[in-house]
């Protein structure tokens, strides 16, 4: 079940108790039976007024809000402040409850809304201090112009809140009103800025990989772990930037330069950190990192499960290869499915664009944030994908009562007190301790407080003394100017201005693609990316050794970019930015492995060979391409397995003639993905430590500290997985494709060896393991889909349920019926271009999705098309709650009106805001 929403996971006992109470409240409000809903007046009271006239404080002139048949607003104003003031008002009309929950997440104040079950989550978020950093950004870093826009936006939100009872703002407040005395506070500019910290957290890069590699040391050797994290396959999957190098004389990146074939400038082969040896001395840190991983599972992942799977597709094709003769640009970010969708579609238009009113922009933004994040203006279009730079490092700290050790000297902690207010309970106070690297995240677990007597560093460790802690250094915990960058992107008129805006897009680090009406295309990799004096960020570093400190950040001028590359197109889908073997700076060692990006490259090349041209429809078709790369490798071997069991043979026949596409009605896709899941479980999952395996996944294993043969003193023990299903391993993403690729050529490998059980013999070879996986998959699908294989379909396994971000994430019956929608049977899959992600360790349910899709027809803007995952409204019974989802599931796009005439033609409702 998707758990990555703005509410903490249902496994928290306090939260479950509170939700039970809320279920009872909802039942009372609903009346007798589902048909009663919440009561007509309760529901309709919160719906936005979309026609007529409203007087708004602080407006200086009339503003028009024009909504189309899907409720998507286009705002027209005469000055910039009125434009963003109206944006705040309109977003609050549609989505204020979502905005309110989100700001409580970023401030670590969920307990004020939902009670004591949220204290642990709030404690961790307060330790990170997102809100404190956002306040510092607003006070000290952001430009006066940006602060003016943020203030105008806040005024618009507060104008909507003025004189409204909570129940008149959203029906969820009617439920909260039965359980606590929660009162809505005015919106502030910092509430908007803080959202960027949550965005950066979910796109933070390889922190989970860093933890996982460390946890693996309890059961695996260094060579085995290296096999599970293979090098990026540059020979198979093209990086984003095909050429270019840093000019040593200028210190700037030159996109036209070619690095020598024999050059090897990377510093990435340095010592990684403090890996364990797999001995009993490691158990203290294993427990620390395992507990930290559990804490991370409990933090609301607002954008999606962090790790290899989360990403996006974006690509741009030059006019020389398009039917329009102008560039075409596509983007579809892959994020957690949420209800309402994370994205909010809108247009912001100055009636007359001038030096004093410069905005004429349309696209996707976040509720609670002014401006547009992804979209286009009258000259320029742009898209975003996650770059995946390594911007976080964990440090193992030697701590004592007076401070932490650095180069043999004790440094005092930086401390602060935090008070967590709890609805229906007493306040809780916590002390946040930080080192020179960052906050001690290990303080936020009672288990971690007891651990630290042992460290996985052998003789390199200082005197063990009191114990060890884990601190986090992260670029987003320093004030930055990403909010400035958003407004600059919205008004950029050429590539030079676009790059100038990108320079301030510090966190999260994103791949930015570009196209303009002059026919140019481009790419820029921005971000605050650390330079390490020692280590490569793949494992926790020894905090007591100052040589492991960051020495600075990669200068923006050295970051890779492209402008009108000869190949005529640019693809970014979370693959490597540039060949790390010839680029001097370490961006990360944990890229996405390039399956989606290479498929898009191949589709473009196949379409344009022999003079072919790409249309907008072709771009849309590419977005919904669902071919499985791992199937092209594994399926031919599966068909060669001699299967004697007639039931398994019946399933095997489904794979004959299969074209590797994963349509919702495909029985072959269902069976193949089940086989792939079982191959991973048998080969790797059952060999991983419990901290990485999914909850409920129990196996008999040899104790981690065992020596010698298994006997009465050293017998097998029952061990169950501990990780949330959405983030467990092996997740089946394209990292695992590269793990398996070379192994499939080996008939014998230690990974093919599995123990026997009551129904299966032990396996020692590849084909034996594949046969066992095919058998296990057959009976798994029999239990899930029935005995008759002709009734199987991938969509019946691979379902999307949209869940209201708070009250809809737990509780049976009335909550599910009133607030949630679905399920939808989907095609696509993990690491496909149509990336409807699922975690092979946890099940088949969809846990991340293309959260929106757009295809921009540059220069002929009104022929652009777009769609959102859900709809414009956050109100559960509004007609625009999920009115786009059916079309989204089918891969359809809607017309995207931009010009005044097109907007007027599409307008269904007009609201006038007047001073």
pLDDT digits (tens, 9 = 90+) for 132-174: 999 999 999 999 999 999 999 999 999 999 999 998 999 888 8
Residue 684 in tokens: 């790797």
Q: What band does 709 get if pLDDT is binned at 50, 70 and 90? A: low
Q: CA 880, CA 884: separation in Å to the nearest integer?
A: 8
Q: Does the pLDDT of residue 411 top 50, yes or no?
A: yes
H-helix or E-strand spanning residue 284: helix 283-297
H-helix or E-strand spanning residue 857: strand 852-857
Q: What is the DSSP letter of 53?
A: E
Tell me the backbone φ, ψ of residue 306, rounded to 5 degrees.
-75, 140
C-alpha angle with apex 297: 294 to 299, nearest 5 degrees?
A: 120
Buried b or exposed e, range 239-256, using 16+ CB within 10 angstroms: bbbebbbbeeeeeebebe
For the residues 651-663, what does the mean pLDDT come to? 98
pLDDT value of position 861: 98
pLDDT digits (tens, 9 = 90+) for 345-375: 999 999 999 999 999 999 999 999 999 999 9
Among 424-433, 489-498, 815-824, the least confident range = 815-824
H-helix or E-strand spanning residue 474: strand 467-474
Q: CA 559, CA 527: separation in Å to the nearest integer?
A: 9
Name 432's bridge partners.
416
For the residues 485-490, what does the mean pLDDT come to? 98
Long-range Cβ pairs for the range 444-448 (8 Å, 24+): 444/120, 444/123, 444/124, 444/127, 444/295, 445/291, 445/292, 445/294, 445/295, 447/287, 447/291, 448/287, 448/288, 448/291, 448/292
For the residues 258-284, what does the mean pLDDT come to? 44
pLDDT value of position 293: 63
Residues 206, 210, 212, 218, Cα dihedral to 10°: 170
Is the distance from CB of 841 to CB of 855 less than 8 angstroms? no
pLDDT value of position 267: 38
Q: CA 538, CA 594: separation in Å to the nearest integer?
A: 19
Q: CA 512, CA 385: separation in Å to the nearest integer?
A: 7
Q: CA 217, CA 289: separation in Å to the nearest integer?
A: 11
Which residue, among 129, 153, 296, 202, has the nearest Cα to 724 in the 3D structure? 296
Q: What band does 259 get if pLDDT is binned at 50, 70 and 90? A: low
Residue 495 in tokens: 């590539």
Name 375's bridge partners.
363, 382
Cβ within 8 Å of residue 24, ≥6 positions away: none
pLDDT value of position 16: 44
Residue 648 in tokens: 């398994």
HSE, CB side, 13 Å, CA atoms: give it for residue 544: 22
Among 193-202, 400-409, 562-571, 823-832, the least confident range = 193-202
Is the distance from CB of 513 to CB of 383 less than 8 angstroms? yes
Q: Does the pLDDT of residue 458 top 50, yes or no?
A: no
pLDDT value of position 175: 75
Say what percent of the chain tops pLDDT 90.
72
Say what percent of the chain tops pLDDT 70.
84
Residue 854 in tokens: 């757009």
Helix, strand or coil for residue 428?
strand
Q: What band does 39 get if pLDDT is binned at 50, 70 and 90? A: low
Sign of CA dihedral 181, 184, 190, 194: positive
Q: What is the DSSP letter of 118?
A: G
Q: CA 200, CA 891: separation in Å to the nearest integer?
A: 28
Stronger pLDDT, 182 or 597, i.e. the higher one = 597
Is the distance from CB of 805 to CB of 832 less than 8 angstroms? no
Q: CA 375, CA 346: separation in Å to the nearest integer?
A: 10
Q: Does the pLDDT of residue 743 top 60, yes or no?
A: yes
Is the distance from CB of 157 to CB of 99 less than 8 angstroms? yes
pLDDT value of position 484: 98
pLDDT digits (tens, 9 = 90+) for 536-568: 998 888 999 999 999 999 999 999 999 999 999
Q: CA 52, CA 911: separation in Å to the nearest integer?
A: 5
Q: Does the pLDDT of residue 297 top 70, yes or no?
A: no
Averaged confidence pLDDT in the chain: 87
For the residues 330-344, what does the mean pLDDT come to? 94
Q: Does the pLDDT of residue 2 top 50, yes or no?
A: no
Q: What is the DSSP letter of 116?
A: G
Which residue, among 300, 306, 366, 365, has the nearest Cα to 334 in the 3D structure? 306
pLDDT value of position 275: 44
pLDDT value of position 705: 60
pLDDT value of position 291: 62
pLDDT digits (tens, 9 = 90+) for 396-409: 898 888 899 999 99
Region label for 273, one of left (φ > 0), alpha (ψ between -120 and 50) or beta (otherwise): left
pLDDT value of position 7: 34
Q: CA 374, CA 824: separation in Å to the nearest integer?
A: 27
């403090």: which residue's tokens? 274
pLDDT digits (tens, 9 = 90+) for 101-129: 999 999 999 999 988 888 988 999 999 99
CA end-to-end distance (rounded Å), the chain: 47
* Longest Cα separation, the chain: 84
Name 717's bridge partners.
701
Q: Does the pLDDT of residue 278 top 60, yes or no?
A: no
Q: Does the pLDDT of residue 289 top 90, yes or no?
A: no
Q: CA 207, CA 23: separation in Å to the nearest integer?
A: 36
For the residues 817-835, what does the mean pLDDT come to? 94
Helix, strand or coil for residue 516?
strand
Q: Does the pLDDT of residue 859 top 60, yes or no?
A: yes
């970023």: which residue's tokens? 106
CA 503 to chain centre: 22
Q: What is the DSSP string of 210-232?
A: HHHHHHHTTT--HHHHHHHSPPP
pLDDT digits (tens, 9 = 90+) for 759-813: 899 999 999 999 999 999 999 999 999 999 999 999 999 999 998 877 656 543 5
């Amino acid at each position: 079940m998707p758990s990555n929403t703005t509410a903490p996971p249902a496994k928290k006992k306090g939260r479950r108790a509170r939700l039970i109470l809320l279920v009872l409240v909802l039942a009372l409000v609903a009346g007798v039976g589902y048909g009663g809903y919440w009561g007509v007046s309760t529901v309709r009271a919160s719906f936005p007024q979309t026609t007529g006239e409203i007087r708004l404080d602080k407006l200086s002139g009339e503003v028009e809000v024009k909504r189309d048949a899907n409720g998507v607003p286009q705002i027209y104003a005469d000055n910039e402040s009125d434009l963003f003031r109206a944006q705040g008002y309109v977003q609050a009309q549609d989505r204020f409850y979502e905005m309110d929950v989100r700001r409580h997440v970023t401030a670590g104040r969920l307990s004020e809304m939902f009670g004591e079950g949220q204290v642990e989550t709030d404690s961790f978020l307060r330790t990170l201090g997102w809100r404190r950093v956002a306040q510092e950004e607003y006070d000290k870093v952001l430009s006066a112009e940006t602060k003016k826009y943020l203030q105008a936006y806040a005024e618009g939100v507060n104008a909507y809140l003025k004189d409204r009872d909570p129940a008149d703002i959203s029906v969820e407040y009617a439920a909260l009103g039965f359980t606590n005395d929660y009162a809505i506070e005015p919106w502030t500019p910092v509430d908007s800025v803080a959202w960027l910290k949550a965005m950066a957290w979910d796109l933070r890069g390889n922190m989970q990989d860093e933890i996982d590699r460390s946890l693996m040391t309890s059961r695996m050797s260094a060579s085995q772990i290296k096999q599970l994290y293979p090098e990026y396959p540059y020979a198979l999957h093209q990086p984003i930037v095909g050429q270019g190098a840093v000019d040593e004389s200028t210190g700037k990146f030159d996109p036209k330069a070619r690095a020598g074939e024999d050059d090897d400038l990377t510093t990435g082969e340095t010592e990684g950190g403090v890996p364990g040896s797999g001995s009993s001395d490691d158990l203290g840190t294993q427990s620390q990192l395992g507990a930290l991983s559990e804490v991370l599972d409990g933090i609301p992942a607002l954008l999606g499960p962090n790790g290899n799977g989360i990403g996006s597709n974006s690509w741009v094709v030059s006019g020389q290869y398009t039917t329009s003769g102008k560039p075409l640009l596509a983007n579809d970010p892959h994020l957690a499915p949420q209800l309402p969708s994370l994205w909010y579609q809108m247009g912001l238009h100055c009636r007359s664009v001038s030096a004093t009113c410069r905005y004429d922009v349309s696209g996707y933004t976040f509720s609670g944030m002014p401006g547009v994040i992804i979209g286009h203006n009258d000259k320029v279009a742009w898209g975003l994908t996650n770059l995946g730079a390594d911007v976080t490092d964990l440090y193992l700290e030697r701590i004592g009562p007076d401070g932490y050790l650095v180069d043999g000297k004790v440094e005092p902690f930086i401390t602060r007190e935090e008070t967590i207010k709890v609805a229906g309970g007493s306040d809780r106070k916590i002390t946040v301790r930080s080192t020179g690297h960052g906050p001690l995240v290990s303080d936020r677990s009672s288990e971690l407080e007891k651990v630290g007597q042992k460290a996985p560093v052998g003789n390199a460790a200082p005197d063990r003394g009191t114990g060890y802690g884990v601190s986090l250094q992260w670029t987003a915990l320093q004030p930055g100017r990403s909010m400035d960058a958003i407004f600059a992107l919205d008004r950029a008129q050429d590539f030079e201005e676009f790059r100038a805006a990108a320079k301030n897009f510090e966190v999260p680090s994103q791949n930015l693609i570009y196209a303009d009406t002059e026919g140019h295309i481009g790419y820029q990799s921005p971000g605050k990316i650390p330079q390490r004096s020692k280590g490569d960020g793949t494992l926790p570093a020894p905090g007591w050794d100052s040589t492991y400190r960051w020495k600075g950040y990669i200068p923006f001028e050295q970051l890779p970019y492209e402008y009108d590359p000869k190949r005529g197109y640019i693809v970014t889908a979370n693959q490597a930015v540039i060949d790390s073997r010839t680029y001097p700076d370490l961006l990360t060692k944990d890229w996405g492995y390039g399956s989606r990006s290479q498929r898009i490259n191949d589709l473009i090349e196949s379409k344009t060979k022999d003079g072919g041209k790409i249309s907008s429809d072709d771009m849309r078709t590419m977005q919904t391409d669902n071919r499985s790369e791992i199937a092209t490798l594994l399926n031919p071997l599966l068909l060669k397995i001699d299967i004697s069991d007639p039931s398994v043979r019946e399933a095997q026949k489904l794979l004959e003639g299969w074209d590797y596409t994963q349509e919702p009605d495909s029985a072959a896709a269902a069976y193949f993905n089940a086989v792939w899941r079982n191959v991973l479980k048998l080969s790797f999952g059952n060999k991983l430590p419990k901290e990485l395996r999914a909850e409920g996944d129990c196996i008999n294993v040899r104790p981690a500290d065992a020596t010698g043969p298994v006997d009465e003193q050293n017998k097998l023990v029952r061990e169950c997985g501990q990780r949330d299903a959405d983030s467990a391993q092996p997740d089946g993403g394209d990292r695992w494709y590269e793990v398996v690729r070379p192994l499939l050529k080996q008939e014998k490998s230690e990974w093919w060896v599995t123990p026997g059980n009551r129904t299966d013999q032990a396996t020692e070879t590849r084909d034996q393991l594949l046969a066992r996986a095919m058998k296990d998959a057959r009976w798994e699908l029999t239990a899930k889909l029935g005995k008759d294989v002709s009734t199987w379909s991938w969509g019946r396994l691979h379902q999307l349920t949209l869940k209201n971000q708070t009250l809809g994430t737990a509780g049976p019956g009335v909550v599910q019926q009133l607030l949630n929608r679905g399920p939808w049977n989907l095609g696509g899959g993990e690491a496909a271009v149509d990336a409807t992600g699922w975690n092979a360790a946890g099940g088949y349910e969809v846990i991340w999705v293309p959260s929106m899709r757009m295809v921009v027809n540059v220069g002929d803007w009104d022929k652009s098309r777009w769609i959102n995952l859900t709809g414009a409204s956050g109100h559960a019974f509004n007609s625009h709650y999920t009115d786009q989802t059916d079309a989204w599931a089918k891969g359809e796009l809607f017309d995207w009106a931009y010009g005044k005439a097109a907007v007027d033609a599409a307008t269904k409702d007009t609201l006038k805001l007047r001073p």
